[in-house]
Structure 1
Amino acid sequence: MGLQTAREEEMDKIIQFSVYMENKAGRLLDLVRILTGGGVDIVGFTILDSVDAAVVRLVVDDPSNARALLHEQNIAFNESTLVAVELPQSADDLRKLLAILLQAEINIYFSYPLMTRPYGKAVLALRVEDDELAGSVLIRNQFRVLTQKDISR
């Protein structure tokens, strides 16, 4: 197996955009229209709401295009990486996943489901303290960890 370049490794990671917007009716729809109008599909999102502002966390199928569209529209955002893991079919899968991460002493900062099911199974996006360790521990325990390529067109 050949060595991956840093750029290739970065392309494997699931990118999350945290978009900061005023807390007004219709702002989420505006954001969705900007992205989908530019050919970017949203595959997962969650909203953190406060009195003054909202943070919309998004996972998209085309991070490069999304980044360009957000810059073009002067929309404030930052990026982070997530671990996206498939939950097979059992109701016990979440418990197993959490127990594995606890045993490896990996903290979960937040999580949310993705709307896409690339291989027909539910997908959970996790923001953890150590992506690399979480991914390797989950793979060793027979969980499928997805890459950006898995959720992109």
Structure 2
Amino acid sequence: MRVEQIAVFLENKSGRLAEITSIIAEEGVNIRALSVADTADFGILRLIVDNVDKAQNALKEKGFTVGKTNVLAVEVSDKVGGLAKVLRSIEGAGLNVEYMYAFVNKSGENAVLIFRFEDMDKAIDSLMAEGYTLLTGEQICSL
């Protein structure tokens, strides 16, 4: 149910994102979802890929600082209010969202929300009790 994600710390300068994605592409690793957050000095690139270990090793070999974290992938209807509904459920459960990002399936029927929660176990129990589908990493990569 938990999905492995890699986080890459990068300098906030031109070309770094292109360099990272090129390294991953050269290894034959497919990026399924990503998010970029930045500060004045550095950025954090969060990626869900089809081969976490291969991507992580290739980036480390090129001198990047890379970490692995677990996130939850929640499938919701891709319609007006889909995000609001799941966020209301999260609020009702007293869960704290550390960060989130989203993407839409190729079919366009559902959206997938990627969440990092302060209490991952409570989040799993709460979301499943509310009837949400939690996807595995393999399911995300097959979308």
Match of 1:28 in 2: 17
- Secondary structure in 1 matching 2:63: coil
TM-superposed deviation, 1:114: 3.1
Q: Is 2:102 the counterpart of 1:108?
A: no
Does structure 1 retain, via aligned residues, the 8 Å contact 2:31–2:48? yes
1:75 corresponds to which residue? 64
Is the contact between residue 2 and residue 72 of structure 2 (CA under 8 Å) also seen in structure 1? yes
The 1-side partners of 2:40 and 2:92 are apart by 37
Q: Extract unaligned runs of 5+ from structure 1.
A: 1-11
Q: Is the 8 A contact 2:29 2:49 kept in 1?
A: yes
Residue identity (%): 29
Unaligned runs of 5+ in 2: none
- CA gap of 1:117–1:124, structure 2 versus 1, over 3 A, is farther
SS of the aligned residue for 1:39 comes to coil
* Alpha-carbon distance change, 14 to 77 in structure 1, aligned in 2, over 3 angstroms: same
Which structure has greater strand proportion? 2
Distance in structure 1 (CA, Å) of the matches to 2:102 and 2:136: 15
Residue equivalent to 1:86: 75
Scaled by the length of structure 2, the TM-score of the pair is 0.87
Give yes or no for contact 1:41–1:62 (8 Å, CA) kept in 2.
Answer: yes
* 1:145 maps to 2:134: yes
Q: Secondary structure at the match of 1:152?
A: helix
CA displacement, residues 16-73 of structure 1 (integer Å, 9 cap, x when unaligned): 2121111111110110010011011111112122222221111112112112212222
Rounded to whole Å, the distance in 2 between the matches of 1:64 and 1:114 is 22
Change (3 A) 1:140 1:119: farther
Q: Quote the residue 1:126 is aligned against.
A: 115
Residue 88 of structure 1 aligns to which amino acid in structure 2? S
Aligned equivalents of 2:114 and 2:27: distance in 1?
A: 24
Structure 2 Cα separation of the partners of residues 118 and 66 of structure 1:
27
| Aligned 8 A contact 1:62 1:152 in 2 | no
TM-score (norm 1): 0.82
Amino acid at match of 1:127: R
Question: Quick one: distance in 2 between partners of 1:93 and 1:51?
Answer: 33
CA positional deviation for 1:117: 5.0
Whole-angstrom distance in 2 between the partners of 1:140 and 1:109: 21
Match of 2:85 among 96, 99, 107: 96
Amino acid at match of 1:86: E
